[in-house]
Structure 1
Amino acid sequence: MLAVSYAKINLFLEVLGKLPDNYHEVNTVLCSIDLFDEIKFVLTKSSDIILWSNIDDLCGENNLIYKIAKYLQHRFKVSAGAEIRLTKRIPVSAGLGGGSSNAAIAIIFLDKLWQLGLRQEEKEEIAAMFGSDINFFLHGGTALGQNRGERITPQDDILLDNILLVNPGIAISAGLAYGALELPAPGEAKLFDPADLMNTMYNRLEQTVCGLYPDVQALLEQLNSFGAKKSMLCGSGSTCMGLFENERDLAICRSHFKEKGFYTLKTRTISLREYQRCFPS
């Protein structure tokens, strides 16, 4: 079975406070985009889980795909194994949810491969055990994420074109970003309104990350100078996105960052229907 594993962007990310489990409570709007990894799942008679990737560091037991496969195998007493081949295109640790997306796709496709017959509620429970935004990737499209991000409420599709992603190659610790964050005062939390998209897109982490990493601030300013109608940090970074009115302005901006050696990609958000087209029948 061949699966596609889509990335995401956050159109909105507000951090409301600390939860008892030491996670942060968030209110976030996530959108799937047309950037994806490919994952091939092959059933094996041996009980071994074999994970291959075009990036060597992702082949080990620390990969969420591997951890979830072993968990499912143990919990549901699966005697078969799987050979899993991950072709990585989504930048790693970039705020685009690549690892979480891979984890969700592993739950969906291993359920099918091993004929586990999992209910949606079971998939949601397992996803929440391994991360905060894995649950979103069980759905895709556009969704509201609450609590620590694992409580997902589907929303109407928000379809945007001419999005430029730029990653300067800076490794940003999400823990450091959240740890240095100044929470909003009571009553001052930002709100998202899809009818007023450009004025209400927001990322609470952006100011903190820009303070810690001035190069990120400079990147956002350059996106604006090239005509982006909105620029914003993706998640905890270091990927930034710029929304452009037309392909010409985006292409000029993209050329500028490619000359600097940065990762760049023109992308778009995708609908729930397009996202779920990749699910096994």
Structure 2
Amino acid sequence: MSFTPIIDAQGFAAFPAPAKLNLFLHITGRRADGYHLLESIFQLIDAHDTIWLRVRQDGQVIHHNPIENVPAESDLTVRAARLLQGHTQQQLGVDIRVEKRLPMGGGMGGGSSDAATVLLALNRLWSLNLSRQALMTLGLQLGADVPFFIFGRNALVEGIGEIMTPIETPVAHFVVLHPPVHVPTPAIFGDPELTRDTPSLKVALLEGRADQVELKNDLEPVAVRKFPQIAECIQWLSQYAPAKMTGSGSCVFAQFIADGAEKNASQNRANAVISCLPKEMTGFVSSTLSQHQLLDFASD
């Protein structure tokens, strides 16, 4: 079913920018140019930012509520709009507002998802009709995770993030905790103690044998050593279910898979956990998405 945006009194249309979780993240090698090779399942979840867009006739791209201390010109939503505008020689412009809910620097892909939503939504609003692959190629210029959100399906991701294979994931709910730290990704990938030779599990995963292999986040040991608050959240959440970090951090999560015999069991379990959250911790409950809400805004 095609997504229909809400339009407010000022004429802005609302588009979701969903988060992702890395159900695991293994570093399988390193290229000669220094880029790390990874293997991961990227899971879309219903926690999201909202991108409000209004087409302009004068060609300007204007961000109406830029993040404090971040120049509008540097914001990924503005960069995405201008990249698409330049690529297509588009004469129309856009007004942008960002309703930010996803933790910044949390490893959930918030900024990348915001950029992807701008590309997808403007593809429709500007009547560009670019293909998904064309948008993914543009998105890669903005960040390694942007193409995944344009791809729009849960995926086994390989290479440096550019190889995606659609994969079915179980319906589940997640408890997500956000430690009060901002993890610098380069510091994690550059740590000499980072594991960089985890064997590939692709065959087992594509054959549906994920329950027979160990799925972990190779970045987690480095991150928890540098940021004890991450370790504290993992330790607390592990009382209730296996917990791990997503991306390069700082957010951590536990998965509660839906039981077909009781439709709401996974949500009830997740809600019960979050109700016990200590006052000094921040977290929320989210559920799986089978695909990006704007999937049909680009053609395959």
**TM-score of the two chains, using structure 1 as the length reference:** 0.88
Amino acid at match of 1:202: K
Q: Does 1:47 align with 2:59?
A: yes
Unaligned runs of 5+ in 1: none
Amino acid at match of 2:199: A
Q: Does 1:203 align with 2:217?
A: yes
Q: CA, structure 1 residues 20+61, in 2 after alignment: closer, same or farther (shift >3 Å)?
A: farther
Amino acid at match of 1:203: N
Deviation by residue 1:80-117 (Cα, 9 ceiling, x = unmatched):
11001111111111111011111111111112222222
Name the counterpart of 2:90.
Answer: 78
Q: CA, structure 1 residues 53+258, in 2 after alignment: closer, same or farther (shift >3 Å)?
A: farther
Choose the corresponding residue for 2:245, options 208, 222, 233.
233
Query: C-alpha distance in 2, partners of 1:48/1:215?
Result: 43
Verify the 8 A CA contact 1:37 1:89 in the aligned structure 2.
yes
Of Structure 1 and Structure 2, the greater helix share is in 1
Q: CA, structure 1 residues 40+197, in 2 after alignment: closer, same or farther (shift >3 Å)?
A: farther
Q: Does 1:269 align with 2:288?
A: yes
> Between the two proteins, what is the percent identity of the paired residues?
25
Verify the 8 A CA contact 1:31 1:158 in the aligned structure 2.
no
Query: C-alpha distance in 2, partners of 1:268/1:150?
Result: 25
Verify the 8 A CA contact 2:156 2:165 in the aligned structure 1.
yes
**TM-score of the two chains, using structure 2 as the length reference:** 0.83
Deviation by residue 1:147-181 (Cα, 9 ceiling, x = unmatched):
111222211233212x1000111111111111115
Q: CA, structure 1 residues 117+279, in 2 after alignment: closer, same or farther (shift >3 Å)?
A: closer
Choose the corresponding residue for 1:25, options 37, 41, 47.
37
1:118: how far off?
A: 1.2
Name the counterpart of 2:7.
Answer: none
Query: C-alpha distance in 2, partners of 1:277/1:213?
Result: 36
Query: C-alpha distance in 1, partners of 2:245/2:212?
Result: 14
Q: Does 1:138 align with 2:150?
A: yes
1:74: how far off?
A: 1.8
Q: CA, structure 1 residues 45+175, in 2 after alignment: closer, same or farther (shift >3 Å)?
A: same
Name the counterpart of 2:277.
Answer: 257
Name the counterpart of 2:4.
Answer: none
Q: Does 1:224 align with 2:238?
A: yes
Name the counterpart of 1:4.
Answer: 16
Amino acid at match of 2:136: E
1:199: how far off?
A: 5.3
Name the counterpart of 2:159.
Answer: 147
**SS state at 1:111 partner:** helix
Amino acid at match of 2:230: V
Amino acid at match of 1:34: D
Verify the 8 A CA contact 2:180 2:229 in the aligned structure 1.
no
Choose the corresponding residue for 1:191, options 193, 201, 204.
201
Q: CA, structure 1 residues 125+280, in 2 after alignment: closer, same or farther (shift >3 Å)?
A: closer
Q: Does 1:164 align with 2:181?
A: no
Query: C-alpha distance in 2, partners of 1:20/1:184?
Result: 13
Verify the 8 A CA contact 2:155 2:164 in the aligned structure 1.
yes
Q: CA, structure 1 residues 21+83, in 2 after alignment: closer, same or farther (shift >3 Å)?
A: farther
**SS state at 1:138 partner:** helix
Query: C-alpha distance in 1, partners of 2:68/2:232?
Result: 32
Amino acid at match of 1:204: D
Query: C-alpha distance in 2, partners of 1:198/1:59?
Result: 47
Q: CA RMSD in A?
A: 2.3
Query: C-alpha distance in 1, partners of 2:15/2:295?
Result: 6
Query: C-alpha distance in 2, partners of 1:54/1:76?
Result: 25
**Which stretch shows the higher mean deviation, 96-105 or 58-67?**
58-67
Unaligned runs of 5+ in 2: 1-12, 258-265
Query: C-alpha distance in 2, partners of 1:265/1:30?
Result: 19
Q: CA, structure 1 residues 11+177, in 2 after alignment: closer, same or farther (shift >3 Å)?
A: same
